Amino acid sequence: ELCKDPYTSRSNCDIKALKETYPKKYRLRVGDYRIIFFNEENIVNIIKLLKRERGYG
């Protein structure tokens, strides 16, 4: 589902564009985890997978 539309939040996850990043990166929030990713030619590239407390510290 994320590969089809990596920009729209869903009921079980929240997606937010990160400011001033190139290529444009996004933060996906699922429970206590944060996933930083970017989309390139319909391929979702995961950069980081963090527990919430590490993502904001």
Q: CB of 44 within 8 A of CB of 22?
A: no
Is residue 33 included in any domain, yes or no? yes
Is residue 4 included in any domain, yes or no? no
Distance CA 36, CA 47 (A): 5
20: containing domain? 14-55
Instruction: Give the pLDDT confidence score for residue 54 in this predicted structure.
Output: 57
Sign of the torsion formed by the C-alpha atoms of 6, 8, 13 and 19: positive
Is residue 8 included in any domain, yes or no? no
Determine the 3-state secondary structure of 23 from DSSP.
Answer: coil
Instruction: Give the pLDDT confidence score for residue 35 in this predicted structure.
Output: 92
Low-confidence ranges of the chain (pLDDT < 70): 1, 54-57
Residues 6+ apart with CB under 8 A from 4: none
Is residue 45 included in any domain, yes or no? yes
Number of structural domains the chain divides into: 1
Instruction: Give the pLDDT confidence score for residue 56 in this predicted structure.
Output: 54
